[in-house]
Chains A and B, each alone.
Chain A
Amino acid sequence: MFSRIFQLGTRLLRETRAGGNLTSNSINSSYYQGQLSRHSAPAKSILFSTATSSHEGSEDKEKISVTFVNKDGSEQTISVPVGMSMLEAAHENDIELEGACEGSLACSTCHVIVMDVKHYNKLEDPTDEENDMLDLAFGLTETSRLGCQVIAKPELDGVRLALPAATRNFAVDGFVPKPH
């Protein structure tokens, strides 16, 4: 099973590469990228070094496919090495996921909504500390998590994560709202 997912992951990776840039076609995209890569650089070197070190240098490391649904509804599919947090993966791929506290579990800005209950249920339950932050997250849903606490693992391959937006509502697959 692992190897199948692994193959799928690499296939997606190739497709992603072949597809070239995945960013939106707005006039400002070049500026966005400049900003964001600058933005992510220090975070990478300071806070995420331990998370990435074990994976570096290995070409055939296991990766999963993750799709981010941006605030404007556009989608970006990236491959994420197993063990990497979604916050770090987003920043490495110029996805506009905020990370005010740089993954130290002191803010709620990397809030993502898991768009499929099946994937949501494969995650470890949030800790009290994560729940304390989720309490304050903007646009909280029943399948909300903090991006810094969602770590890539094979079972999450194909997961879709939405960035909460003030102006958009969407349905989470398989989620039945509780009656009031």
Chain B
Amino acid sequence: MGRGLLLPHAKRLMLFPRPRGFSASAASTREPLHVCVVGSGPAGFYTAEKMLKAHEGVQVDIIDRLPTPFGLVRSGVAPDHPETKIVVNQFSRVAANARCSFFGNVTLGSDVSLAELRGTYDVVVLAYGAESDRSFGIPGENLRGIHSAREFVWWYNGHPDMHNLVPDLQNTDSAVVLGQGNVALDVARILLRCTTKLASTDIAGHALDALKSSTIRKVYLVGRRGPVQAACTAKELREILGLQNVHVCIKEGDLATSPADKEEMRNSRIKRRVHELLSKAATMHKEKNSNDQKELHFVFFRKPTRFLPSEGGSTVGAVELEKTLLKDDAVTGNQVAVGTGEFEDLKCGLVLKSIGYKSLPTEGLPFDNYKGVVPNLRGRVLSSESETTTVEAGLYVVGWLKRGPTGIVATNLHCAEETVASILEDDRNGVFMAPSDSRRQGRKGLLEILEQKNARYVPFDGWEKINSEEKIAGQLKNKPREKITTWDELLKAANGG
């Protein structure tokens, strides 16, 4: 209790008692299995939960580079989706388990290396997600006013790394969102939604202020392919189509389906339902309601070819789009968009690129740069430096780092199940057995490494202090919480305020 940020002192190791009271099972006859999970988002927490449930002799340490846990549940899930965040109750119960500890403010690569973790833990599970973005690689991409959707989402969700993003929402009436997945729909909805509705969410204070004075009235959602290929889910689409005072524009011609489209829809319930929703919206919204103050345009069959500056400025003024057609890709069997050589400019003062997150490698980790994931077999990390592929003993991946940046919170449940099954199988096969003189130290070893580097970590009760401070600040504003959005203040709050 009341540990806050730990300064190096001798007594702190006693705060982590060895697990006691094992029943007379096979697990009690051996040393604990030391597991470190890197990343405390859904993939990390589901992995920890399943390991703790399945193995009585396991000790799980979860490290995260932020002082706050829960990854994208905190910094990704939109503020107006509070129900999706309820899962943190479950994750908090996992963290409260006596055999589980959280070490926030610990960065893999700088505070502790992968090699050090592998030297001190029997099992290292990498669950650090995807903290970068795919890019188009087209001219003008560095103009001001062009951001990745991830940066914008982190900004409105109060991620401390995007506190200083400050997107300009006042120099234009039009924003272009490139991409039509759920993240694209999220950022479009936040730009269009009435701010009195947002004011009662946990949106970051700086974002709410900026949105209140936003002059953006039109949002264009641009996709290379058609309505059948849109990557969003019906839930998100239904929500944005139902926004108050927003006129939805969908060209009915875009909704026509080819035999290949029909085949795609036959094979996918979600595609059928998404297409159905768009078709309904296209007919419903034909007449513009006089109350509609804002517009949402679905722009299909267009791909960006370059970003054009505004007159004499370094800020984006338009996106050049090329019309596309769908063609069958012989290799993948998917329909892909190919340019037609016909171009048009779409004027705007803000561009949000929402074409996918990208994972980053870390030193000593096999990484597939093309796919942006760690090569793995059911979660076991594969190394292919030599001629033959080998398994990196004791090293695993889960979540976006394992399968790429797609899916919902629940996708990680099954992803974690698979990785945990691999770990348990390897444990049964004696993969983690070490001679008694070289037993791995687990938590004790991590604490020693952090102490050597004078790295101050934030334990789970440090997060709980942040949590209660945010909730108290939120009460004053009728918000579920007022997020603390800078590193300094987060660390101060974790340390007891």
A residues adjacent to B (C-beta < 8 A): 27-28, 30-32, 35, 38-39, 42-43, 98, 100-102, 104-109, 128-129, 131-133, 135-136, 138, 140, 166
Contact = CB atoms under 8 A, between A and B. Distances in A.
Nearest to B266: A180
A14 B188 CA distance: 56
Nearest to A166: B414
B26 to A, nearest CB: 7
Contacts of B52: 35
A138 B84 contact: no
B218 to A, nearest CB: 27
Given A27-B26, A100-B409, A166-B418, A135 B87 contact: no
B23 A132 contact: no
Nearest to A104: B83
Contacts of A100: 86-87, 90, 409-410, 413
B236 to A, nearest CB: 9
B84 A109 contact: no
Interface string B67-100: 0000000000000010110110110010000000
Given A132-B233, A135-B269, 16 more contacts: A28-B55, A28-B56, A35-B53, A42-B89, A42-B93, A98-B410, A100-B86, A101-B84, A104-B83, A106-B83, A107-B87, A132-B235, A135-B270, A136-B235, A136-B410, A138-B414
Given A108-B410, A128-B238, A138-B414, A32 B84 contact: no
Given A30-B23, A100-B90, A105-B83, A135 B409 contact: no
Contacts of A131: 234, 273
Interface residues of B, number: 32
Contacts, number: 83
A42 B90 CA distance: 10
Given A30-B23, A101-B84, A39 B90 contact: yes
Nearest to B414: A138
A106 B86 CA distance: 9
A140 B233 CA distance: 15
A117 B90 CA distance: 33
A88 B323 CA distance: 51
B13 interface: no
Contact of A98 (B55, B235, B413): B413
A98 B235 CA distance: 20
A98 to B, nearest CB: 6
Contacts of B409: 100, 107
Contact of B235 (A31, A43, A133, A138): A133
Contacts of A108: 408, 410
Contacts of B413: 98, 100, 109, 138
Contact of B410 (A27, A35, A109, A129): A109
Contacts of A27: 25-27, 56
A30 B27 CA distance: 14
B61 interface: no
A31 B56 contact: yes
Contact of A107 (B269, B270, B273, B408): B408
A159 B428 CA distance: 37
A72 B409 CA distance: 23
A105 B238 CA distance: 14
Contact of B84 (A28, A98, A106, A128): A106
A138 B83 contact: no
A94 B141 CA distance: 53
B174 to A, nearest CB: 29
A133 B238 CA distance: 12
A120 B189 CA distance: 36
B86 A136 contact: no
B53 A102 contact: no
Residue among A28, A38, A166 facing the most chain B CB atoms (10 A cut-off)? A28
B421 to A, nearest CB: 9
Interface string B227-245: 0000001110010000000
Nearest to A38: B93
B417 interface: yes
Contacts of B273: 131-132, 135
B336 to A, nearest CB: 24
Contacts of A128: 234, 238
B259 to A, nearest CB: 15
A52 B141 CA distance: 56
B410 A102 contact: no
B377 interface: no
B264 to A, nearest CB: 14
B54 interface: yes
A133 to B, nearest CB: 7
Contacts of A38: 93
B416 to A, nearest CB: 11
A128 B239 CA distance: 12
Residue among B27, B93, B233, B234 facing the most chain A CB atoms (10 A cut-off)? B234
A101 B86 contact: yes
A131 B234 CA distance: 9
A46 to B, nearest CB: 8
B83 A39 contact: no
